[in-house]
């Protein structure tokens, strides 16, 4: 049929013996288009487009619509701007190469006396480059979640609970730049119509060691063995009580031995510089 087994099993689960037309009621098409433009922005763009069509010889392309949106006080954001410009792509690659970690770029076009977001913080180390206009930034130390990673980012950042007394304010004009550390609260207010680049560099945190060890230990048969342990509640009867403690001690001893070697440390440093080359063994260990 040309379909995968998971698709077939999912389809068969819909089988309803009491309804001969069960297969006609469930479409395989997605119920929601995740990439579809929200209704209000779509309505606004269509309205502007319709107005631009009316005057004779009017410009009605993308840039004309962007200009009209900006005049109405809407911020314009270009995500992954490095994908649309060779110059920006080269700049993002320089950041990624220098910090040995992925970098992405966003372009903000913000109207006079407005702000894009309220108080927030980012996972990335953020570098702001002011291209046009003037913008004022206020930063504040984060005591609620000072070292954010994907696994500890809350849905609600709860700025209202922040009590840090450290607060910094600076004003950027065209040609200025600003570094905002990962996790620091910040908010921006345009003084005049503004264009700036935001370059986000993912910080290399200590959890990276666990990623490295997963690849490093994958070469050792000891760590590739199955954990044949079934909890007593699922075994339907008495389960062994001595194997897990012994197994845990064996794993601790093996891991302690690996971490004690200087070579492991050198390999980890090489992994930080270039993970692909380090794992393939193409380069010798070196410090970043």
Give CA–CA dist 202/183, Å, rounded. Answer: 11
Query: CA dist 79 to 53, 197, 215, 227, Å?
Result: 28, 10, 32, 43
Q: What is the reported pLDDT for 61?
A: 67
Higher pLDDT, 278 or 122: 122
Given a cut of 80, is residue 135 above it in pLDDT? yes
Mean of the per-residue pLDDT values of the chain: 81
Neighbours of 28 (CB within 10 A): 8
- The DSSP line for 202-214 is ----TTHHHHHHH
- The answer, yes or no, to whether residue 147 has pLDDT greater than 50, is yes
Domains of the chain: 40-74 (no CATH), 75-201 (2.60.120.650), 208-280 (no CATH)
Asked whether 248 and 261 are in contact (CB, 8 A), the reply is: no
Whole-prediction pTM value? Answer: 0.70
Per residue in 225-276, pLDDT (tens digit) is 887 666 655 555 555 555 567 888 999 999 999 999 999 999 999 998 888 7
């Amino acid at each position: 049929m040309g379909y995968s087994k998971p698709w077939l099993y999912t389809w068969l689960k819909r089988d309803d013996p009491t309804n001969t037309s069960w297969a006609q009621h469930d479409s395989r098409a997605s119920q929601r288009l995740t990439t579809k433009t929200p209704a209000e922005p779509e309505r606004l763009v269509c309205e502007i487009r319709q107005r631009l069509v009316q005057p004779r010889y009017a410009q009605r392309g993308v840039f004309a619509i962007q200009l009209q949106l900006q005049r109405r006080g809407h911020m314009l954001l270009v995500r992954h701007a490095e994908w649309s410009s060779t110059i920006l792509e080269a700049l993002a690659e320089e950041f990624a190469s220098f910090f040995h970690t992925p970098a992405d770029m966003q372009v903000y076009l913000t109207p006079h006396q407005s702000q894009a977001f309220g108080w927030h913080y980012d996972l990335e180390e953020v570098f702001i480059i002011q291209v046009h206009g003037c913008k004022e930034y206020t930063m504040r130390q984060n005591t609620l979640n000072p070292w954010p990673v994907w696994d500890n980012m809350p849905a609600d950042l709860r700025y209202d609970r922040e009590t840090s007394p450290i607060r910094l304010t600076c004003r950027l004009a065209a040609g200025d730049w600003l570094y905002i550390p990962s996790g620091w609260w910040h908010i921006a207010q345009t003084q005049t119509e503004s264009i700036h680049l935001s370059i986000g560099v993912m910080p290399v945190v200590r959890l990276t060691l666990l990623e490295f060890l997963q690849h490093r230990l994958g070469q050792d048969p000891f760590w590739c063995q199955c954990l044949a342990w079934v909890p007593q509640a699922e075994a339907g009867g008495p389960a062994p009580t001595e194997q897990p403690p012994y197994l845990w001690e064996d794993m601790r001893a093996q891991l302690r031995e690996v971490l004690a070697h200087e070579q492991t440390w050198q390999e980890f440093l090489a992994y930080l510089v270039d993970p692909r080359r380090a794992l393939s063994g193409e380069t010798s260990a070196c410090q970043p």
